[in-house]
Amino acid sequence: MIRDWNFWLSIVTIVLTVVTVITAIIAVLQTKKQIELSNKQHLFDLRIENYLVAKCLVEQYR
């Protein structure tokens, strides 16, 4: 069993496959989090823009 290279090769292949799967899952989770943050930033930018327009209109009204 120790000298069976096919056995060790299959073990290494399994370990590398698991590492690849874990890395892919982490990448997907990071991408999801980044999209959420980007959406929040875009919404914040829209709110700031609308606030500045409203503030300008109120100042012109006075």
Distance CA 34, CA 21 (A): 20
- Quick: pLDDT tens for 32-50: 999 999 999 999 999 999 9
- Quick: pLDDT tens for 14-29: 999 999 999 999 999 9
Instruction: Count the neighbouring beta carbons within 10 Å of the beta carbon of residue 2.
Output: 5
pLDDT of residue 1: 56
Distance CA 16, CA 18 (A): 5
Mean per-residue pLDDT over the chain, rounded: 92
Residue (of 43, 19, 39) closest to 31 by Cα position: 39
Sign of the dihedral through C-alpha 49, 53, 59, 62: negative
Q: What's this model's pTM, rounded to 2 decimal places?
A: 0.65
Q: How confident is the model at residue 4 (pLDDT cuts 50, 70, 90)?
A: confident
